[in-house]
Structure formats: structure tokens, C-alpha cells
Amino acid sequence: MAIQCRLYGKFKKLASKTDSASGTVGIIELQEKFCKVEDLLGYLDLNEEQISHIIVNGRYVGQGKDLEDGDRVAIFPKELSLLYKWYFD
Amino acid sequence: MRNKLLRVNMNSLTTKFEDLPKSLRNLGGRGLTSSIVKEEVPPTCHPLRSNNKLVFAPGMVTGTSAPSSGRLSVGGKSPLTGGIKESNVGTNFAQALARLGVKVIIVEGQFDDRYKLLQVDSEGVSFADATPWSDIGLYEAYEGLRQEFGDQVDICGTGIVGEMEAANSGIVFNDPEGLPSRYSGRGGLGAVMASRGLKFIVLDDEGAPGVDLADEEQFRKGTKKLTNALTEHDVTKPGGTLNSYGTDAMVDVINEAGALPQFNFSKGRDDRAAKVSGEAKAEEIKNREGTRPHACHDGCVIQCSEIWTKPGGEDPVGVLEYESVWSLGPNCGIYDLDTVGELNRACNDLGLDTIEAGATIAVAMEGGLLDFGDGTGALELMDEIREGTSKGRILANGAEFAGQALGVTRVPAVKGQAMPAYDPRAIKGMGVTYATTPMGADHTAGYTVSPEILSVGGEEDPLSSEGKSTLSREIQYATAFIDSTGYCLFTTFATADIPKGEEGLIESVNGVLGTDYTADDILEIGKKIIEKERQFNKEAGFTKEDDRLPEFMVEEELPPHDESFDVSVEQLDEVFET
Ligand code: SF4
């Protein structure tokens, strides 16, 4: 089983194919083993500054989240950010 | 003529300007409409008979140069919910009304020989016959009205479904191009307007006195800080999320979060949803040479709006908001922007609220009137509404009414009003807001999505029911304040994250009103408004049993998270028992 990485916005360009259902989301199927989200980001050469939010299996996560085979990882770039930070100040 | 209350009596076709009572002077928008409805409308009255009133109020700072502040509230007793209603819209009409020195219009009584049009300009107020623009679609009507009264006028009106006095009829305002695409959509206030015998209000603010500033320096200082925050923040800045993709940017995020209701709230995620996302739409608008970004009123610096057209740039519709795209699209199993665009055009033309209309079509699909995904069939239903067939009239009364007619028990509504685009089983705090706001299911009343899905840290788990009462209550109070200021709710993306922006927002309010509010006053002001609204509903016969979600959401799990709505009734009751 692989990790399915779903790339939105300008990150789409990192993928060589798009998903079959919509034809608009960039898809990378990764066979490699990644321990955490941050390892995956390193592999994709993405840094925190460029990212708005990451959703793994439908849950909003931080970069320290452990990854497992079969995970669905959606990565949204800064220009698709919709954030309120103040609740956690 | 400044700070006036304009009372319009439709029984006698007379109007009179009154001084705004002292107790109402520092209010605006929702604070003003809800206070007046509470004060003047008997809570048990029939919403479509003469005792109901329709109240229009621009926000506290609307009509000034404050950024993104062209918002207006419309209030009355709702024929959809049977409770109090405030429905908020962004339009130049709001600014024109404020500049004309009118803080509030109260329309009362009923004119039996339909329909009249009310004209307000700096010379005064008059009535005209509205028959030439009645019983036709609103695109044609608004074009005709602008030909008659000039391109510079601002218009609000109610459509064919309002004339039917159907419960899903909104009040429609023009966008800067004159398209009937900006909506006080929710709660059936279009029927309240039509049942007064009033079809349109036409404003011309040429030569208007403008809005008084109690403390100009304070106002300038405040608006500068706010503008800086709006132009800095990733969500609100030029080229930021809202500016580039509009509200529809939510589709992908909420779908990935498993909370985008699809096939009448049967599942929270479907990979086809990306076909109707903000990204896909922005690209298509570019291809068609439509307009994006665009502002719903002059002076918005965020500019989340757009003009969607047919292929080739023909036949502009206006904006396709996230809520509309979702309700007329994925919630009906439709994943095609052109179909969604045409359904939205039909809603604008008929005067239907898009959220309720999409929810109703999805219920009709579940009830077997047509198949999920049948866009052509959905458009045919719009024709039935236009023709006023029995089926059309049932559908024009909203999801709950249609559900009863078709024997559908899975109707996603609270207090008779259909839910918007966030499934409460996957975003629990949103369910708490839907259940407890006096408005019926309404996402804008207390947008918990932000901390639950969109925050950086994600400390609020959207699937957990813990702590959601306090979260929803505080956001509901803060929202009632923002809805009163005239600022667009989207300014809060920036003010929430940038303290100077919030400071500026409050200073600008103080600059207009001469008040000395601080951030600490916001929740208290909002609380007072919601208390009035809840009191109205109580006297109208609502009990805490009305603060509940539909049974099927408690019993049925929503994939992919396979969660039901498990916030306890005690937690729901705790929201306003403080
Ligand atoms: S941000 Fe959008 S909805 Fe708000 S005032 Fe501006 S254009 Fe209108």
C-alpha cells in the first residue's frame, strides 16, 4: 500500500498526474516509507512557509503527525489558506 | 436629513421620517433590525399578514469610506422558521441608504392592490406602480428598472417566488453592475416584502448628505489600521485566498475534511467535488473572460466576488458562492459548474435563496422526483417553480415543506431552515450553532469551522463534542456584533489574527458613533442582541426542543468519518444558559 498525496493549488505542478474523479487535483502515489508528515514534506521539497494546511484522512494535522501506509494526505498551499489563528493564542 | 428612521405605511401608502429613538442610536445592522422586530412585531403574528413588519438597516459604519463595510441587515418574522430573522447582504444599496441619512426603514401594513415600488432619494420618498416589473424574472426586471430610473440607482426587490408568498423567497439586491445577484436570502423575507404589497425599493443617493462622523480623526486612524490588516493577511489581501478563489475555495478543504455534505447529507467526501472548487471555477472564469476578482459593493478591499458567465463570456449570472455551488452541486450529486451556474441563475431570476433551493432539490431527489445528479431535471424543477405548478409551489416553500409533501424523513433543517455546506456530524461545533442560533440552521451565525478545520494548530478537534457549547456561544456573540457594524464577516479573518486590525475596526466604529467601545465590549453587545432574538422566539412559541438537529443526524453516521451528531442535549441547552 502506498501513501496518496493530494496536491492542491500551485502544488499541483509537483505531480505528474491528476486524480481520475475530478481531473484537477495533483496526485502522487508514494511507495516510500515516511515516518511523519514532515518527512514527506522534505521529500517533496516543501517548507512550512509555503503551506497553509495539511489534512490526513480527513483530519487537520500538524507536521509531526505519524504517517501510515494507505494514508490520504492533502496539502494546501499558502494561497489557499483560510486561517484563524487567534483561538489558540 | 440624517440618522432618520423612515416609516413606510403600506395600508395608507404614506411615509414619514422620525428621529431615531435614543435607545437605538448607537445600533446598526442586525442590532437595529432585531431590536425593532422585538419591539414592534407581535411574536405570534402570521408572518404574511399585516402585523408583521420588514426592517432594513445598514451597519454602523456603512456609507463611510471604511473598507468592506457595505453591508445591510433585513429583519422581520420569518415565514420559513416562524421566528425572528436577520438576513445580511453586501451591496451598494446599503451604502446608498446610509448616505441618504436613513439608519432604518420600517415597512408596515399591507397594500392590497399589488404591487408598489418605493423610491427614496435626497429629495424625499414616493411610491410608483411596480406592475410593469412584476411577474417577470429579476434579470429582466432590474434591467428595466435601471432603464427607467437610471444606471446609478440601487435596487432591492422580491421575485416571482416572493409574489407567490412562498417561504423560500429572498430579497435581492443589485451588484455594482446591476445584476440581481446579492442576497438577503435566508428565511423567506422576500415573501414578507411581497405580502406588504411592496415589490421594489429604488434608491438614488445623488446629492445625499452622507454619514456623520462623530470623531473623524479616530475614524481615519481606525480604518487605516483595518485596511492595513486586510491587505496584509493571507486570506483577505489582494491576491490572497478570497480575492483569488472566492468563498468557493472552501470546497476542497471541507471535502478533504470529510464534511462537505453530498447526496442530501449522505456522505462527507467525494473526489468529484474538486470539479466545482474555487480553483476550478477561477480557472474557468479566466478562460471565459468573466470577471474575477470583483467586489459586491464599491470600497471592498477583499473583493471575494466574481461574475460567472456562460461559455464565451455570455449571459452574466453574478457570483457563484461556496454555499450556492455546494447546495446546487455536490449536495444534489451534480459536479458540473455550468449546470450549477444555470441553477444559480434560475434562483437569482426567481428570487430563491440558493442554500434552501439546493437543499430542497436534494430532498426532492431523495423523495424520488428525480435522480441524484440529474442537472437537467433540476433545471426543469426551476421551470415548474416559475410556472407556479403545484409541484413548483411545494418546492418554493423549502426543504422541510417539500420533505413533508414527499414523505422524506431525512431533511437537513433546523427550525424549518435548511443547513448550509458543513455537515454537523463532521464539524460538531457547527451543529451546535445550527441548533441554537435563533435564526434556524445558519453557518454565518457562529462560524466554528475556523477553529475546528482551518486553524493552524488544529487544537479544536472537529469530530469531538467537547467544549463546543462555549466555542459556539462566543462566536455567535462576536458575530452579532460584526453583523451590526456593517463590516463584512470576512474582515474577521484579518482582525482575528492581527490585533491592530481589530483595534482599528473598533476605533472606526467609535469614530462614527462617538462611543468608547473596547474589545471587551464586543461580546456583551452581541449577547444583548441574541437575548432579544431568543426572547422573540420564546414568545413566538419556541422551546429548547427547537434547539435540536434532525433525528437522522443523531442516528445515522456520515462517511468517511462514520460519525453521528453526538453533542448531548444538555450541551446544546448550555449554550445560552449562562
Ligand atoms: S469580502 Fe466579498 S462578500 Fe465581503 S464585502 Fe467584499 S466582496 Fe462582499
Output the DSSP codes for B231-283. Answer: HHSTTTSTTSHHHHH-GGGHHHHHHHTT---BTTTTBS--GGGGGGSHHHHHH
Give the residue, B287 or A85, on which the prediction is more confident.
Answer: B287
pLDDT for the residue B472: 85
The alpha-carbon gap from B404 to the nearest alpha carbon of chain A, in Å, equals 34
Quick check: B64 and B513 in contact, CB under 8 A?
no
Which range, of A16-20, B224-228, B536-540, averages the lowest pLDDT? A16-20
Average pLDDT over residues A58-66: 86
Contact B20, B5 (CB under 8 A): yes
Grid cell for residue B456: 493552524
User: Taking CB atoms and an 8 Å cutoff, what residues of chain A touch B426?
Assistant: 58
pLDDT at position B322: 95
Rounded to whole angstroms, the Cα distance separating B58 from B71 reads: 6
Confirm if B124 and B112 have CB atoms less than 8 A apart.
no
* Residue B236 identity: T
- pLDDT given for residue B567 in this prediction: 94
Mean pLDDT of B83-95: 97
Is the model's pLDDT at B184 over the cut of 90? yes
pLDDT for res A88: 29
Under the banding of pLDDT at 50, 70 and 90, the label for residue A87 is very low
Mean pLDDT of chain B: 94
Contact residues for B61 (Cβ-Cβ < 8 A; gap 6+):
B28, B69, B211, B485, B486, B487, B508, B509, B512
pLDDT tens-place string over residues B530-547: 999 999 999 999 999 999
CA distance B140 to B92: 20
Give distance in angstroms: CA of B117 to centre of ligand 1.
28
Answer yes or no: is pLDDT of B475 > 90: no
Provide the whole-model pTM.
0.96
Burial class (CB in 10 A: 0-12, 13-18, 19+), B128: middle
Q: Does B279 touch chain A (CB under 8 A)?
A: yes
**Residue B158 pLDDT more than 90?**
yes
Measured in whole angstroms, the distance separating CA B108 from the mean position of its chain's CA atoms is 22
B453 versus B84: which is more confidently predicted? B84
Residue B26: φ, ψ to 5°: -90, 10
User: Which domains does chain A carry?
Assistant: 3-87 (3.10.20.30)
In this predicted structure, what is the pLDDT of residue A64? 86
Q: Which residues in chain B are contacts of A87 at CB distance < 8 A?
A: 450-451, 455, 459-460, 496
How much distance in Å is there from the Cα of B444 to the middle of ligand 1?
Answer: 14
- Residue to mutate, B241, B487, B490, B495, ligand 1, most ligand atoms under 8 Å from C-beta: B490
Cα(B71) to ligand 1 centroid in Å equals: 9
Tell me whether strands B102-108 and B154-157 are parallel, antiparallel or unpaired: unpaired
Q: Domain B246-422 maps to which CATH number in 2.60.40.10, 1.10.3430.10, 3.30.2130.30, 1.10.569.10?
A: 1.10.569.10
pLDDT single digits (tens) B392-436: 999 999 999 999 999 999 999 999 999 999 999 999 989 999 999
pLDDT score of B3: 81
pLDDT given at position B195: 98
Query: Which residues are within 8 A (CB) of B466 and not within 5 positions of it... i.e. 6 or more apart?
Result: none
Tell me the HSE value of A18 on the side-chain side, using a 13 A CA sphere.
Answer: 15
Q: At what angle do helices B216-232 and B499-513 cross, to 10 degrees?
A: 150
CATH domain B4-204 topology: Aldehyde Ferredoxin Oxidoreductase;  A, domain 1 (3.60.9)
pLDDT at B23 over 60: yes
Task: Give the rounded percent of residues in chain B with a pLDDT score beyond 90.
Answer: 89
The pLDDT-based confidence of A48 (bands split at 50, 70, 90) is confident
Q: Is the CB of B491 under 6 A from ligand 1?
A: no
Residue-level pLDDT at B457? 32
> Distance between alpha carbon B487 and the CA centroid of its chain, in Å?
13
Q: Note the pLDDT of residue B434.
A: 95
Residues of A in contact with B272 (CB under 8 A): 21-22
Q: d(Cα B199, Cα B329) in Å, to the nearest integer?
A: 30
Contacts of B268 in chain A (CB under 8 A): 58
What share of residues in chain B are helix, strand, coil (percent, to 5)?
45, 15, 40
Band (B578; pLDDT cuts 50, 70, 90): low
- Look at ligand 1, atom 2, and give the residue with the nearest C-alpha: B304
Q: Between chains, do B245 and A80 touch, taking CB under 8 Å as contact?
A: yes
pLDDT of residue A1: 58
Whether the CB of B68 sits within 6 Å of ligand 1:
yes
Put simply, the answer to whether A58 touches B561 (Cβ < 8 Å) is yes
Cα-to-centroid distance, B348 and ligand 1 (Å): 18
pLDDT tens digits for range B165-175: 999 999 999 99
**Nearest-5° Cα angle at B296, B47 to B248:** 90
User: How are beta strands B84-90 and B4-9 bridged, if at all?
Assistant: unpaired
- B253, A23: Cβ pair inside 8 Å? no
B225 vs B206: CA distance, rounded Å: 30
Helix (H, G, I), strand (E, B) or coil at B346: helix
Any CB–CB contact under 8 A between B429 and chain A?
A: no
Q: Among B180, B112, B469, which residue's Cα sits nearest to residue B347? A: B180
* Predicted pLDDT at B463: 73
Distance CA B483, CA B88 (A): 7
| Domain residue extents for chain B | 4-204, 246-422
Whether B458 has a pLDDT exceeding 50, the answer reads: no
For residue B52, how far is the Cα from the chain centroid? 20
Q: What is the distance in A from the centroid of ligand 1 to the CA of B185? A: 15
Check if B295 has its Cβ closer than 6 Å to any atom of ligand 1: yes
Count of positions (residues) in chain A:
89
**Beta partners for residue A66, in sequence order:** A36
Output the pLDDT for position B460: 60
Contact B455 A87 (CB under 8 A): yes
Checking if the pLDDT of B296 tops 80, the result is yes
